[in-house]
Structure 1
Amino acid sequence: MKKQDPSTLYGVIGLGRFGTALVKTLTEAGKEVIAIDKNEEKVREVRSYTDYAFVVDNLSETALKETGMQNCGTVTICIGEQIDMSILTTMLVIKLGVPNVIAKATSEVHGEVLKRMGATVVYPEADMAVRIGRRLIFGNLLDYVALADGVEVRRIAVGGHVVGRSIQELDVRRVYGINIIAVERDGRTDVEFTANYRFSQGDTIAVIGKIDKIDRFEKELQD
């Protein structure tokens, strides 16, 4: 593999449903991805997305180096079901000096071990359950990204008393303690809107703030 800017090169270890979906998402966004798994059939499936898909039977430090995993800016370990292998592989990837290591966990205990090693932990099944639950609770919630310290970015469909009012009139920063960071209209996203922007039915806004404050805003949006 030719030398890459580490910030643009991603590694995915383990090609189950989660890992395979991650490879497809990254490559469709134009990212270079190194993908490895011990199952030849799974590796073959992702070769239509990346040229750097390898069958690796033994996840040793040497084997990882041979694939070029140490050149990645971010590596995601997607082998949460095999807890011992997940922990060992996470340790090896961190040892290789990869700056951003993300590891899939299947339990809080598993996740706590990975965190103590220095990895960022994800719980795919639990995260999806929360995402679906939020969509059921808030009918106008389109999507969200959970950040640290109880902060989220959410996309919310405009409706109710917001329609026809301007950003300045809503004054969400003072009233709710949240910020509007983008406005979507007619398939276009605007991040340089002014306080005089007036909302129309069908607009979508992206807001950032503490979860409880966004929840309050959404509840009042529906009233």
Structure 2
Amino acid sequence: MFNLKPAVEFGIIGIGRFGFALAKTLIEAGKDVVVLDSDENKVKQIRSYTDNAFVVNNLNKETLLETGIQNCGTVFVCIGEKIDVSILTTLNVINMGVKRVIAKANTYEQGCVLKKIGAEIVYPENDMAIRIANRLLNEEALEFIELNNDIHIEELRATNRIDGKSILKSKIRNEFNLNIIAVERDEETMIEVDPEYILRENDLIVVIGKKANIRRFEEYLSN
């Protein structure tokens, strides 16, 4: 049985790792949050922080209306993995008249569809990478960040090996399985990196990928 206030600031549908962290952060900031998920164990965990957490096995419009999620000012749909459920749930929430709907997307294509139906989009991994890149480029003492035992984000200086080459032709992705997430040149930082962008010697580039591949690329640059 659902028992919500007439109006709640935030609603969160789906409490995987991203949804849980989002809910916890908002609740600890003193915000009113209602959380919905089909997994009873996850709901029990988030109930350590809020009583407004409910098990919902069906995310159709009728069930969502029963929860009162339409009374939230902002609703986050954090169902990135099940694309069909993500899109239908987002569409239902939008059609229920929620003023602001923000949906998590795992791929660009998924984000395009969600944006098309009227949602704002977040790409958690990409957004985190950009925030970390900005930290790397603004704090000289911070040279790398370890995301786990294998995946790193590191700042490297371009050498004459890639001077004058576009990012695409430098084969950083194809040969080293790395992605460039930021480039700094002449104290200007670019975080939306075009594949046709021409690299110059002494550019600071921020790459994300496996530690071993970063070491291979670093060795390539120094030869």
> What band does the TM-score fall into relative to the shorter chain?
0.5 to 0.7
Read off the aligned partner of 2:97 and give its amino acid letter: G
- Residue deviations 1:165-189, cap 9 Å, x none? xxxxxxxxxxxxxxxxxxxxxxxxx
TM-score, normalised via structure 2 length: 0.61
2-side partners of 1:2 and 1:38: how far apart?
A: 21
For the structure 1 residues 73 and 138, does the alpha-carbon distance in structure 2 shift closer, same or farther, using more than 3 Å as the test? same
State the Cα RMSD in Å: 2.4
Structure 1 runs of 4+ with >6 Å offset: none
For the structure 1 residues 141 and 127, does the alpha-carbon distance in structure 2 shift closer, same or farther, using more than 3 Å as the test? farther
- Residue deviations 1:140-176, cap 9 Å, x none? 699xxxxxxxxxxxxxxxxxxxxxxxxxxxxxxxxxx
Question: Does residue 90 of structure 2 align to residue 90 of structure 1?
Answer: yes
Read off the aligned partner of 1:135 and give its amino acid letter: R
Residue 29 of structure 1, CA deviation: 1.0
Unaligned runs of 5+ in 2: 143-183, 190-223
Residue 22 of structure 1, CA deviation: 0.7
Secondary structure in 2 aligned to 1:137? helix
Counterpart in the other structure of 2:76: 76
Counterpart in the other structure of 1:103: 103
2-side partners of 1:59 and 1:13: how far apart?
A: 9
Q: Which has the higher helix share?
A: 1
Residue 62 of structure 1, CA deviation: 1.2
Counterpart in the other structure of 2:129: 129
Read off the aligned partner of 1:28 and give its amino acid letter: E
Question: Does residue 9 of structure 2 align to residue 2 of structure 1?
Answer: no
Read off the aligned partner of 2:33 and give its amino acid letter: V
Counterpart in the other structure of 2:53: 53
Counterpart in the other structure of 2:120: 120
Instruction: Tell me how many residue pairs correspond in the alignment.
Output: 146
Read off the aligned partner of 2:62 and give its amino acid letter: T
1-side partners of 2:87 and 2:140: how far apart?
A: 39
Counterpart in the other structure of 1:64: 64
Counterpart in the other structure of 1:18: 18
1-side partners of 2:128 and 2:60: how far apart?
A: 31
CA contact (8 A) 1:134 1:141 kept: no
Residue 2 of structure 1, CA deviation: 2.9
For the structure 1 residues 3 and 87, does the alpha-carbon distance in structure 2 shift closer, same or farther, using more than 3 Å as the test? same
Read off the aligned partner of 1:119 and give its amino acid letter: A
Secondary structure in 1 aligned to 2:125? helix
CA contact (8 A) 1:18 1:78 kept: yes
1-side partners of 2:140 and 2:61: how far apart?
A: 47
- The percentage of aligned residue pairs carrying the same residue is 57
Read off the aligned partner of 1:93 and give its amino acid letter: V
Secondary structure in 2 aligned to 1:58? coil
TM-score, normalised via structure 1 length: 0.61
